Structure 1
Amino acid sequence: MTAAVAFVRRNAITIAGLSVLIIIAAVAAASGLFSSRDNLEIFLSQAGIAAPIIFLLIQTIQVVIPILPGGVTSLISVVVFGPVWGFIYSYAGMVAGSVISFLLVRKYGKKLILKLISEDHYNKYIGWLERGKRFHLLFAAAIFLPFFPDDVLCMLAGLSDMSLKRFTLIILLCRPVSLIGYSVGFNLFTMFF
């Protein structure tokens, strides 16, 4: 048995899952779903009872395969589902996507990251890993605050020595703060403008 065949057999479920995510993302992108906030908002509004499940999948996929900034989909969830359910759906999708992203990079490394983001983006943040244990603090602070490239940082965390347990704890505790920031900021903006 060749090394390639052995690799495929060992990783069949991961490869199949990643392939499905890529196909769904490609079909959605080709259909224009991600071309504007309005398109995604209209699509979800028309999805009826399936909208939360569809949104969870979109949010999870967009963390693993960064198509839209997380803030955009978070704002859409607040508009479509309201502030409470929008927050819950965004949070669940972001946590799931972050853990999947971390585990995929932990398994497949830098090559996978460079297939999902530009080399410039990678080079901009890879230096964070050279800070050793300080990376954990920088990572937590960046996840805590809005407007950092959380998806990229979750991938880089997969290259670090951070344990899955610590990574998940940081995501669970820090992601809500930035999500609340997006939700409250959007609600304040719509109240005054």
Structure 2
Amino acid sequence: MEGLGNWVPIGIFLLRFTSVVIPALPGTAYSVLSGGLLGFTKGLLVICLADLLSCSLSFSLSRRYGRDLVQKLVGTKFINKIDHLSQSHLEHNFFLLTGFLMTGFFDFVCYGVGLTQASWRKFAPALVISIAISNPPIVALGAGLLEGGKLLLGLALLGVFALAIITGLVQRSSSTMEE
């Protein structure tokens, strides 16, 4: 790995970026890989930068080109769910938006919010907060697994557990709002 130099972070960045812009590709593994190959700090920086730029691009693409482009990227199966969720709940609820951006469907959420009337000024802080909360535990998991750091691994597991609780609360809140 050391012989590859700067190609490792660039490669991980491109993989993660692509997995967010094209939501059919799984991206969580790249966070774990980033932590394992680059260490916690550098790995977190690469993943956070990739998420910030790719989510911003997804929001902007859907805002500029509309539903037709989003439907091509996410598929017809998800477009109606994204539309309903975004317009009914996320557009007007900053905390729910932030919570949904911390789930495994954050890439879809970015496209969906771009289709609503939610402003960039509302979306950007929610995105930054969600990245700051949800990425460290997963990158730390990768760093702990491959570096043997038991404390880091323990903190990562606690972080993932906390994210699971937050996700459950957000989903329960969302289902309560739909009823």
Q: Same fold (TM over 0.5)?
A: yes
State the identity as a percent. Answer: 23
Give 1:188 deviation, angstroms.
5.9
Whole-angstrom distance in 2 between the partners of 1:62 and 1:157: 18
Q: Could you report, residue by residue, the CA deviation over 1:151-172 in whole angstroms, capped at 9, with x for unpaired residues?
A: 0000001011111122111111
Unaligned runs of 5+ in 1: 1-43
Instruction: Give the TM-score of the pair, scaled to structure 1.
Output: 0.66
Q: Secondary structure at the match of 1:109?
A: helix
Whole-angstrom distance in 2 between the partners of 1:73 and 1:89: 10
Q: Could you report, residue by residue, the CA deviation over 1:63-107 in whole angstroms, capped at 9, with x for unpaired residues?
A: 111243231211111111111111110000000000011101100
Give 1:189 deviation, angstroms.
6.2
**Matched-pair contact (CA < 8 Å) for 1:45–1:80:** no
Give 1:46 deviation, angstroms.
6.7
Q: Does 1:167 align with 2:123?
A: yes
Stretch deviating more after TM superposition (165-174 or 155-164): 165-174
Q: CA RMSD in A?
A: 2.5
1:130 to 69, 76, 88: 88
Q: Does 1:85 align with 2:48?
A: no
- Structure with greater Cα Rg: 1
Whole-angstrom distance in 2 between the partners of 1:158 and 1:141: 16
1:57 to 14, 37, 50: 14
The corresponding residue for 2:67 is 110
Whole-angstrom distance in 2 between the partners of 1:131 and 1:66: 21
1:180 maps to amino acid:
P
Unaligned runs of 5+ in 2: 151-179
1:68 to 25, 28, 35: 25
Q: Which has the higher contact order (CA 8 A, sep 6+)?
A: 2
Whole-angstrom distance in 1 between the partners of 2:90 and 2:113: 11
1:162 maps to amino acid:
A
Stretch deviating more after TM superposition (96-105 or 111-120): 111-120
Whole-angstrom distance in 2 between the partners of 1:157 and 1:98: 11
Q: Could you report, residue by residue, the CA deviation over 1:4-52 in whole angstroms, capped at 9, with x for unpaired residues?
A: xxxxxxxxxxxxxxxxxxxxxxxxxxxxxxxxxxxxxxxx877432222
Instruction: Give the TM-score of the pair, scaled to structure 2.
Output: 0.71
Give 1:186 deviation, angstroms.
4.4
